[in-house]
């Protein structure tokens, strides 16, 4: 009999840790006020190690004991028998756009994430994070939310507040205002700064501007999360954009998180190798880097963000439309729009997913242009002047996806947006396709990439790992039945197979059913100030 190690902190009688062939007697404990015990054969802690048969005791919102299965009898108010299920930390999604749901009481449960096993979502990515983090935090805490969330403050939002959508670099006064706004957001608990250097208005910023703001985030233990300036050949090129991000991280001495890493479009297919080499080299040189990835070949964005040149969208919507309809600019604009469509794989590779005009939804740009007997560029010109339309852009190669997925610094995300099934099905899809079907990842690796590795990268304290003292965010799922049910025809169908979800010690899904609990919290940075 091997010595028994308990993580509970209480002492075992000598007879239990001595070598003996005698069966171990269960040890009744009375010193812990246990609310819930989960007992299971297959428990993954989240750190990438193999599963163990353990009992997890929860006191209030905290994991208060973990012991070998059956060894300790807990006096618990509730026992969850999860034998036959996989138990793991609740998943953490580092890139979502779920504030619209979380801030609305009808949808605050974040049910489409809970049913993926996600107990924590990050918001504020792509440079679009709300500037007034303090106000938002209070609103969410008072109203109640189904999952935890942590907030990034957005560089694009800060820039827009200070200088609108001006297509120029910031002057010293404007920069000082942006620094002050970043500082306030970090003091209010933002976990870092996000940029969307591909999008307007982030695209108009210099590298130095971003470094100045990233330094402020670093001061408060924050991270730098970036949607790269270029994931393709739109402006500086994919590999140069990665260099820029690494340079920002080095200069600001901050953790770099590359959002939804991908090689977008045929021009850069295969460049995953060069990018992986760059990241590994930088990590070896002491730069702290992580990335997330959603397991789909299509990205999703607004039509105008996908194909309209950024200079055209400067200043305001009115100015955008004026330039678009200026006959002297017509040739130049048409050429650039056509080129952007080509980069994304052509008009057949752009699928309309959300639009007021329902006749568009489910059809490709090429199909609609043909039906309406109009040129592709002219159709784009018409559509981008209407209410925003979303597209799925089929632009990635499976080789690049697979290559990125197995890197130890890559974690799971959804980047969930309306119209794209990734909002409902990313974690179950990754499990089904890449663990079960392809065997690219082990179950333990997948869980680590979806929990502890993410918590570590984002510096979320006491999350993502089943460990005594950590918050009790725990899920149990049926490995045979965990299933992604959403697809591009039906993008908003809930995933199934998650049997139990516990958020901060509160059971919110039991036997696969949501019980209306709103147990999430707003997670703040580990601000030393």
Q: What are the residues binding Zn ion (CB under 5 A)?
A: 126, 227
Helix (H, G, I), strand (E, B) or coil at 402: helix
Determine which helix (DSSP H) or strand (DSSP E) holds 303, and give its type and residue range.
helix 303-307
Identify the H or E element spanning 502.
strand 498-503
β-sheet bridge partners, residue 47: none
Residue among 370, 368, 336, 340 at smallest CA distance from 352:
368
Q: How far is the CB of 435 from Zn ion (least distance, A)?
A: 25
List b or e across 305-325, with b for residues whose CB sees 16 or more CB atoms inside 10 angstroms.
Answer: bbbbbbebbbeeeeebeebbe
Decide whether 79 or 100 has the Cβ nearer to Zn ion.
100
Task: Tell me how far, at minimum, the Cβ of 206 lies from Zn ion, in Å.
Answer: 20
Closest to Zn ion by CB, 227 or 432: 227
Query: CB of 105: closest distance to Zn ion in angstroms?
Result: 27
The nearer residue to Zn ion, 57 or 151, going by C-beta atoms, is 151
Instruction: Name the residue nearer to Zn ion (CB basis): 261 or 314.
Output: 261
CA distance 299 to 488: 12
When the beta carbons of 175 and 458 are compared against Zn ion, the nearer one is 458
Do 387 and 344 contact (CB within 8 A), yes or no? Answer: no
Count CB-CB contacts under 10 A for residue 153.
31
Backbone angles phi, psi at 89, to 5 degrees: -60, 150
In 10 A of CB 343, how many CB atoms? 20
Q: How far is the CB of 343 from Zn ion (least distance, A)?
A: 17
Q: Which two tokens stand for residue 254?
A: 């901050």
Cα 234 to Cα 40, 198, 342, 344, distances in angstroms: 50, 9, 11, 10
Given the complex with Zn ion, which of 192 and 505 has the nearer CB atom? Answer: 192
What is the nearest approach in angstroms of Zn ion to the Cβ of residue 100? 16
Q: In this chain, which residue has its C-beta nearest to Zn ion?
A: 227
Which neighbouring-strand residues pair with 55?
39, 67
Q: How far is the CB of 125 from Zn ion (least distance, A)?
A: 6
Choice between 126 and 188, CB closer to Zn ion:
126
Closest separation between CB of residue 126 and Zn ion, Å? 4
């Amino acid at each position: 009999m091997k010595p028994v190690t308990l993580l509970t902190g209480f002492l075992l009688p000598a007879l239990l840790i001595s070598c003996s062939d005698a069966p171990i007697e269960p040890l009744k404990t009375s010193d812990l006020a246990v609310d819930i015990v989960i007992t299971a054969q297959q428990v993954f802690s989240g750190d990438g190690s193999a599963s163990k048969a353990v009992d997890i005791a929860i006191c209030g919102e905290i994991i208060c004991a973990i012991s070998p299965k059956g060894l300790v009898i807990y006096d618990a108010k509730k026992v969850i028998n999860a034998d036959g299920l996989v138990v793991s930390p609740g998943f953490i999604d580092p890139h979502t756009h779920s504030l619209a749901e979380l801030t609305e009481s009808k949808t605050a449960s974040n049910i489409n994430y809970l049913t993926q096993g996600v107990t924590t979502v990050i918001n504020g990515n792509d440079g679009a994070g709300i500037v007034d983090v303090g106000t938002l935090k209070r609103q969410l805490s008072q109203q109640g939310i189904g999952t935890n969330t942590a907030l990034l403050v957005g560089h694009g939002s800060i820039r827009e507040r200070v200088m609108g959508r001006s297509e120029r670099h910031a002057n010293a006064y404007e920069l000082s205002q942006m620094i002050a706004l970043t500082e306030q957001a970090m003091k209010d608990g933002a976990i870092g700064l996000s940029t969307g250097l591909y999008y307007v208005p982030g695209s108009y910023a210099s590298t130095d501007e971003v470094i100045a703001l990233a330094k402020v985030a670093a001061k408060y233990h924050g991270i730098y999360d970036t949607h790269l300036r270029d994931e393709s050949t739109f402006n500086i090129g994919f590999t140069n954009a990665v260099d820029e991000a690494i340079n920002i991280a080095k200069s600001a001495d901050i953790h770099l998180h590359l959002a939804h890493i991908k090689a977008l479009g045929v021009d850069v297919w295969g460049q995953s190798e060069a990018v992986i080499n760059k990241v590994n080299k930088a990590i070896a040189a002491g730069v702290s880097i992580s990335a997330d990835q959603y397991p789909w070949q299509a990205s999703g964005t607004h039509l105008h963000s996908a194909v309209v040149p950024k200079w055209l969208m400067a200043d305001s919507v009115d100015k955008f439309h004026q330039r678009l309809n200026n006959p002297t600019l017509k040739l130049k604009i048409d050429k650039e729009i056509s080129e952007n469509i080509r980069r994304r794989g052509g008009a057949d590779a752009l699928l309309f997913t959300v639009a007021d005009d329902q006749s568009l939804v489910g059809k490709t740009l090429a199909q609609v242009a043909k039906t309406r007997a109009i040129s592709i560029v002219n159709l784009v010109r018409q559509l981008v002047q209407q209410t925003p339309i979303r597209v799925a852009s089929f632009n990635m190669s499976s080789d690049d996806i697979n290559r990125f997925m197995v890197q130890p610094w890559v974690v799971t995300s959804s980047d969930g947006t309306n119209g794209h099934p990734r909002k409902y099905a990313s974690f179950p899809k990754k499990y089904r396709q890449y663990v079960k079907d392809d065997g690219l990842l082990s179950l333990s690796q997948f869980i680590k990439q979806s929990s502890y590795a993410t918590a570590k990268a984002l510096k979320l304290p006491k999350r993502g790992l089943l460990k005594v003292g950590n918050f009790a965010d725990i899920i149990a799922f049926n490995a045979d039945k965990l299933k992604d049910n959403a697809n591009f025809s039906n993008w908003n169908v809930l995933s199934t197979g998650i049997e139990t979800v516990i958020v901060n010690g509160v059971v919110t899904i039991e036997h696969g059913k949501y019980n209306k609990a709103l147990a999430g919290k707003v997670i703040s940075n580990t601000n030393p100030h």
